[in-house]
Chains A and B, each alone.
Chain A
Amino acid sequence: MVHIPAGIGIAPPQRTRGVYVLGGACNYPLRTVEPTGVVQVAYGGFAKGIGKDADSPSAAGRVPMLGVLFAVWGQRLAARRLLSFRGRVLGFVDGRRWRGPLAEIPLRRHAEIVLEVDGEVTPHPSYDFAPGL
């Protein structure tokens, strides 16, 4: 497993409490505050070309894509490259295989996204989120 760090999308200087990042100089609309892989999507909307239109055509209704998260994180995501690992990268959304470009996986509310390199690990189909998320 790859540890997805807290603090993605939160500019330094960061305020931390233990392993949690409480805030920083500024925040991207995509961020992680804990090292668990839970990605928070904040109000603020995404510009055209960054997010895909969701149910609502307004900017606030745009759903960001996985490629945006990796861009903010500063890590590689491609068909045969995942961070520093090389191999066939498989994507799963809510337990089902994603057949399109990985960067275009939509970060919809409460989606459970699993990325594997040449993986045969059974992905979890769902995730119980804490209240308020």
Chain B
Amino acid sequence: MGRVRYAVALTVCTVVVLAPALAPATARADADPASDVLLEANVFYPYAPGVSGSLQQALNQETARAKRAGFPIKVALIGHAYDLGGIPSLFGKPKRYARFLDAEISFRTLQPVLVVMAAGLGGSGLGKAATATLATLPPPTGDQPDVLAETAIADVAKLGAAAGHPIGAATPGGSASGGPGAAVLIGVGIAVVVVALALITVRDRRRAARR
């Protein structure tokens, strides 16, 4: 990748064409990077300084497990005002940004959202029980990106459990898809044993027939 000289922000809006009567007069064009990233990914990470690779992997796995457990939560870690792009005024206001983000990325289904800032936690679309649990959780102990990620890793499991979707413990050293992979290996092993027993049985019968 060549050297970057500078950047420009481009937003393309067509939503008013689809439903002009529904567009609120105060609506603003989408301009926060997290709402774009979270359409495809489960986690939005702050730009700079970033979250360490091992914690990114752990949080990615945690949200993937939550999704498999029926709790498809999206997490936004906001470390600085520039992580909010065109709406830096919401920095330090995790509850307000969580509602904003939820409106940006939720469509037909309820979309659980967790926002983690040094100022505290914000949630939306979590359901009654998980929202009550969120209110009891402490804010991050620092403003470093890794601290925000550690907070999210711990809180996703608590919110999932509160919402009635307990998230299983991580497999030590395993990947997010380690469970199914192990099941396939066990299945192949059983099949090999069954085939071997069948071959032995056929051989013994042939020997018996020769006698």
Partners in one complex: yes
Residues of A within 8 A of B (CB): 1-4, 18-19, 22-23, 27, 29, 33-44, 66, 69, 82-83, 85, 87, 107-124, 126-133
Within 8 Å by CB of A41, from B1, B8, B26, B60, lies B8
Q: A114-B13, A130-B47 are in contact. Are A120 and B82 (CB under 8 A)?
A: no
Q: A35-B39, A129-B9 are in contact. Are A121 and B48 (CB under 8 A)?
A: no
Q: Tell me whether A114 and B37 are in contact (CB under 8 A).
A: no
Q: Tell me whether A121 and B27 are in contact (CB under 8 A).
A: yes
Return 26 A-B CB contacts under 8 Å, by A number. A1-B29, A2-B14, A34-B36, A34-B37, A37-B11, A38-B85, A41-B8, A43-B3, A66-B10, A83-B12, A110-B7, A110-B9, A113-B8, A114-B29, A115-B12, A117-B14, A118-B17, A119-B16, A120-B20, A122-B26, A122-B29, A124-B11, A127-B9, A128-B82, A130-B47, A133-B4
Interface class of chain B by DSSP: mixed
Q: Tell me whether A118 and B20 are in contact (CB under 8 A).
A: yes
List B residues 2-55 near A (Cβ within 8 Å). Answer: 2-17, 20, 23, 25-31, 33, 36-37, 39-41, 47-48
B-side interface residues, number (CB < 8 Å): 43
Instruction: Name the CB-closest residue of A to B45.
Output: A18
**In the complex, A66→B9 CA distance in Å?**
11
Q: B147 in the interface, Cβ–Cβ < 8 Å? A: no
**In the complex, A131→B47 CA distance in Å?**
8
Interface class of chain A by DSSP: loop
How near does chain A come to B86, taking the closest CB pair, in angstroms? 4
Q: Tell me whether A82 and B12 are in contact (CB under 8 A).
A: yes
Q: A85-B14, A128-B81 are in contact. Are A23 and B9 (CB under 8 A)?
A: no
Within 8 Å by CB of B27, from A41, A107, A122, lies A122
Q: Tell me whether A40 and B26 are in contact (CB under 8 A).
A: no
Residues of B within 8 A of A (CB): 1-17, 20, 23, 25-31, 33, 36-37, 39-41, 47-48, 60, 81-88
Within 8 Å by CB of A27, from B2, B14, B47, B83, lies B2
Q: A1-B12, A35-B40, A118-B20 are in contact. Are A40 and B7 (CB under 8 A)?
A: yes
